[in-house]
Amino acid sequence: MSNDAQELVVEYIIDEHDRILSFNDGFRVFAQENDACSLLPKVLGSELWDHIAGLEVREMYRLLLNQVRLTGRSIRVPYRCDAPWMLRDLELELEPLPGGLVRIRSRTRRLELRQALALLDPRTERDPTRMLLVCSWCKRIQDGSAWVEPDAYLQTHRLLTAKVLPQISHGMCGDCRTRVFAALNLGGTGV
């Protein structure tokens, strides 16, 4: 793992209508690392909402953006954004700019290489009859009333060597909801 990867800062700016105005080199590198290069030409001018999966997560981003624009103060929230072969802790920062623009910046806090998880690889064949709920903020998987790490889930359900895996949908676990609301100074209530 290189120091460059550790220090990767992914940054983009959205306008007052939440359209992506610009992004930095870190954004380009991040897209390359995540096999999302084909998306890059389509990113400029697109709406932020085209790139955020899951209703609950979108709602959280809306709350965060509203708060930042209303108060004129930055907000920072930790989150996880894994690649199949890498566990990645990041910090999200939303910084208000004049004219309703917002700079959205992700800084890498921790990287940990692991054996690639087919569950997180979009090329993996999926079972259309099975669906897992993944928390978009911490990447844990809902298992009954608990939320567990993806590899623990696969082990428990004997899916580590499965060739066909369940589909994934995105939501938000209680811990992350509490954390984001704490960042919003709402004390984790009000949902």
Distance between CA atoms of 171 and 167, rounded to whole angstroms?
A: 13
The answer to the question of residue 92 lying near Zn ion (CB under 5 A) is no
The continuous run of DSSP H or E covering 141 comes out as strand 141-143
Q: Which of 176, 180, 183, 184 is the binder for Zn ion (CB under 5 A)?
A: 176
Residue from 10, 102, 135, 159 binding Zn ion (CB under 5 A)? 135
Nearer to Zn ion, 19 or 177 (CB): 177
Binding window for Zn ion (CB under 5 A); candidates: 12-20, 27-35, 50-58, 136-144? 136-144
Q: Please identify, using beta-carbon distances, which residue of 45 and 187 lies nearer to Zn ion.
A: 187
Applying CB under 5 A, what is the total number of residues that bind Zn ion?
5
Closest approach, Cβ 121 to Zn ion, in A, equals: 20
Nearer CB in complex with Zn ion: 14/138: 138
Nearer CB in complex with Zn ion: 68/141: 141
Nearer to Zn ion, 138 or 184 (CB): 138
Sheet containing 164-171, strands listed edge to edge, beginning at the edge strand earlier in sequence: 146-148, 141-143, 125-135, 164-171
| Alpha-carbon radius of gyration of the chain | 17
Task: Please identify, among the stretches 39-47, 48-56, 110-118, 174-182, the one whose residues bind Zn ion according to the rule CB under 5 A.
Answer: 174-182
**Contact between 173 and Zn ion per CB under 5 A:** yes
> Who contacts 64 (Cβ-Cβ below 8 Å, separation ≥6)?
75, 77, 94, 180, 183, 184
Place of tokens 């993806």: 150
Binding to Zn ion (CB under 5 A): which residues in 137-166? 137-138
**Long-range contacts of 59-67, Cβ-Cβ distance < 8 Å, separation of 24 or more:** 60/137, 60/172, 60/177, 60/180, 63/180, 63/184, 64/94, 64/180, 64/183, 64/184, 65/18, 65/94, 65/102, 67/184
Per CB under 5 A, residues contacting Zn ion are: 135, 137-138, 173, 176
